[in-house]
């Protein structure tokens, strides 16, 4: 029987997480050797109680990880991937927009020999703001991560054990899972699936969080901004040389010197603006290096609730992953 891990980052999903897990167990418990990893990313509602209830209901299937605070979706996914045991691993959202019945399509496709299979939505049932953000995200990924134009980086995907092992080698504090995937493999496929409207609540992604993800994507996984600055600087330098030659020639063929104050101020402001932009981008790179050297954790697991088939139930297992992963304490109940 194929072993399958399903990682679900949970954030304020008290209204949907039980229905999602119940559907997954009903549809696939007899078909796969299934492990569902619920990663509570600092939820403020009753998600913690719902996840504990699901573990009690399905102790052999559901593993519950409670993070010490809100680290962000990709950090939560990395926490789940680090505890996944399956031959294949599915990542999906907690809001039922990824229909459980579509999961089998991804699993069937990856068994053809791909490292990762992404869901492709014929029609996205998101708000206009979220759709605009997704479109911009796609353009940024294509430009900075060299993503194939026809590849949509969906949060609903499945990867094989080879790729999963490569992804969890990344220990930086700001993981972007799809960026790690793209720099690891090009053996990628997509499969069309349905996308449902969110039955309740609203997306946890604010404009600030989306900008943070774009910044991490651009700075942590690409040198394109630095190269663009170099190209822009070269073009401005060339333009300045041409402008100087033109002014010198013009000065020789006119009476008096051309000392236009407005032209001088415009050129001065252009160079100052370019300098500030370059310093800002360089500062972002240096800042991320500082955070990395400071060993900021990728995630901190406050509690791991699972069932050890040999020793019984294990609770209150705390761990973190920064430069490396360490187990701080453990106990059996």
The answer, as to whether pTM is greater than 0.75, is: no
pLDDT in tens, 41-96: 999 999 999 999 999 999 999 999 999 999 999 999 999 999 999 999 999 999 99
Beta bridge partners of 88: 4, 160
**Rounded Cα distance, 192 and 179, in Å:** 21
For residue 26, give the 3-state DSSP assignment: helix
Which tens digit of pLDDT belongs to each residue from 180-238? 999 899 999 999 999 887 666 565 555 566 566 666 666 666 666 766 776 776 677 66
The answer to whether 187 and 155 are in contact (CB under 8 A) is no
Residue 29: band (very low, low, confident or very high) from pLDDT cuts 50, 70, 90? very high
CA distance 247 to 17: 69
Q: Tokens standing for 186? A: 């090009």
* Best mean pLDDT range from 151-160, 189-198, 203-212, 310-319: 151-160
Which three-class secondary structure state does DSSP give residue 7?
strand
Q: What share of the chain is helix, strand, coil (3-state, %, to 5)?
A: 45, 20, 35
Task: Indicate the fold that domain 3-221+296-332 takes in CATH.
Answer: Spore Coat Polysaccharide Biosynthesis Protein SpsA; Chain A (3.90.550)
Question: Domain extents for the chain?
Answer: 3-221+296-332, 224-293
């Amino acid at each position: 029987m194929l072993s399958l891990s399903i990682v679900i980052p949970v954030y304020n999903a008290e209204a949907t997480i039980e229905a999602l897990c119940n559907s997954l167990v009903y549809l696939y418990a007899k078909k796969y050797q299934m492990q569902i990893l619920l990663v509570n990313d600092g939820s403020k509602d009753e998600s913690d109680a719902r996840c504990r209830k699901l573990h009690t209901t399905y102790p052999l299937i559901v593993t519950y990880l409670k993070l010490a605070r809100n680290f962000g979706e990709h950090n939560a996914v990395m926490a789940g991937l680090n505890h996944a045991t399956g031959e294949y691993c599915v990542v999906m959202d907690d809001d039922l927009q990824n229909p459980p019945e579509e999961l089998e399509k991804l699993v069937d496709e990856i068994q053809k020999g791909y490292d990762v299979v992404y869901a492709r939505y014929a029609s996205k049932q998101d708000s206009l703001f979220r759709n605009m953000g997704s479109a911009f995200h796609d353009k940024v990924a294509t430009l900075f991560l060299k993503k194939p134009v026809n590849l949509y980086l969906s949060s609903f995907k499945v990867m094989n054990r080879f790729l999963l092992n490569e992804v969890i080698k990344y220990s930086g504090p700001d993981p972007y899972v799809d960026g790690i995937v793209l720099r690891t493999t090009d053996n990628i496929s997509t499969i069309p699936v349905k996308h449902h409207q969110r039955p309740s609540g609203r997306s946890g992604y604010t404009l600030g969080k989306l900008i943070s993800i774009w910044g991490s994507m651009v700075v942590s996984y690409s040198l394109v901004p630095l190269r663009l600055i170099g190209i822009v600087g070269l073009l401005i330098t060339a333009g300045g040389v041409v402008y100087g030659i033109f002014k010198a020639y013009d000065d020789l063929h006119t009476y008096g010197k051309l000392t236009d104050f407005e032209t001088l101020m415009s050129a001065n402001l252009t160079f100052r603006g370019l300098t500030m932009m370059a310093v800002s981008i360089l500062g972002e790179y240096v800042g991320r290096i500082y955070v990395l050297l400071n060993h900021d954790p990728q995630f901190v697991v406050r509690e791991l609730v699972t069932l050890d088939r040999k020793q019984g139930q294990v609770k209150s297992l705390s761990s973190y992953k920064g430069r490396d992963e360490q187990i701080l304490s453990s106990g059996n109940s």
